[in-house]
Structure 1
């Protein structure tokens, strides 16, 4: 397989790259990080495209009146976006599985001390109520433990993680509101479109911020191993 650092072909029975000396463990971890980064980018692209398309749909609604408004036509126009949000949710689930595998590896490689057992890397996403606050704490802990940070840098990392998680929760809530919204009146249709745009924006921003955390943690751990 090719080396993730220099691109040279490494035989499967060799533990280190003959060209740059990279360990297989570091090579595999970086490959998983790159895969998660690219999938998050694809999720951000889909969400951003949905938001832009919804903004274009909102333009004719601004010029409509109660006499010219057609709720049936608006409902048919908005129906595909519910499917897009559903597909985005499925893609986020697939990305989340690979993300958990990457986070499990990153948590094990980050130096301690750790406040929580490694099993909470997975359980923290599955347990009700706990999954509202534990996952970002685990990511933040892995991030700051992977490098040497001053107080200001720790605070900046905390803001990135907090912004990512807030966008995740708000994006999920707004997407749910959009799919269950009504278009019976012009005011309701305008509100539903605005909710959809906000949901898409939050999801795109969440994916972008998560990309930043994956990039930084992977970079720090690969550099430390070298």
Structure 2
């Protein structure tokens, strides 16, 4: 198989790359990180496309009046976007499963001490209430423990993680508000479209920020193993 770091062909019975000396475990971890990174990019692309398409829907509503507004036509036009958000949720769930596998290995490979048991890497996403605040703490802990950071760099990493998690929560919340929204009146339709645009924007930004954290953590941990 080719080495994930240098591209040299490595025999299956060899534990380290003969060219760069990378361990097989680190190669596998980097491959998982690249897969998560690409899936997150695809999620961001779909969300961004949905937001841009919804912005086009907002243009005719700006020029509409209460006399010319057609609730039925607007409802039919917005119905596919509810399906798009459902598809985005399914894609996010699939990406999340691979992300949990990557985070589990990253947490195990990062030097301690760790504030939480490794089981919380999975349980932290499943337990109600706890899943509102624990996942970003775990990601931040893995990130700063994977490299040697100054105080300013730790704060920057914390801002990225906090922004990512805020966008995740807002994206999920606004997507649900959009799918449950009403278009009976022109004002409600305009509000629903704006909520949909905001939901798509937050989801795309959340995926992009998560890509940044996955890239940095993977890079730092692979560099430590070479």
TM-score tier after normalising by the smaller chain length: over 0.9
Distance 2:104 2:9 in 1: 27
> For residues 56-95 of structure 1, what are the structure 2 equivalents within 5 Å?
56-95=56-95
* Aligned-pair CA distance for 1:18: 2.0
Report SS of the residue matched to 1:116. coil
Please list every run of 5 or more consecutive structure 2 residues that lacks an aligned counterpart in the other structure. none
Question: For residue 40 of structure 1, what is the aligned residue in structure 2?
Answer: 40
What is the deviation of 1:14? 1.1
| CA deviation after TM superposition for structure 1 residue 22, in Å | 1.4
Q: Distance in 1 between matches of 2:185 and 2:81?
A: 19
Partner residue, 1:225 = 225
Kept in 1, the 8 Å contact 2:22–2:225? The answer is: no
Give the C-alpha shift of residue 147 in structure 1: 0.5
For 2:200 and 2:146, the matched residues in 1 are separated by 32
Q: CA RMSD in A?
A: 0.6
Kindly tell me the number of residue pairs found equivalent between the two proteins. 226
Give the structure 2 partner of residue 132 of structure 1.
132
The whole-number CA distance in structure 1 between the counterparts of 2:177 and 2:114 is 37
Aligned structure 1 segments of 4 or more residues deviating by more than 3 angstroms:
none
Q: Is the counterpart of residue 197 in structure 1 residue 197 in structure 2?
A: yes
C-alpha distance in 2, partners of 1:56/1:9? 49
CA distance in 2, matches of 1:11, 1:90: 37
In 2, Cα distance between equivalents of 1:17 and 1:151: 35
Aligned equivalent of 1:211:
211
| TM-score normalised per structure 1 | 0.99
Q: Which position in structure 1 is the counterpart of 2:166?
A: 166
What is aligned with 2:176? 176
> Helix, strand or coil: the match of 2:112?
coil
State the Cα distance separating 1:154 from its structure 2 match: 0.5
Q: Determine whether 1:3 maps to 2:3.
A: yes
Task: Tell me the CA shift for residue 19 of structure 1.
Answer: 2.1
Give the TM-score, by structure 2 length.
Answer: 0.99
Distance 2:94 2:114 in 1: 27
SS at match of 1:30: helix
2:214 and 2:5 mapped to 1: Cα distance? Answer: 17
Cα separation, 1, equivalents of 2:32 and 2:98:
8
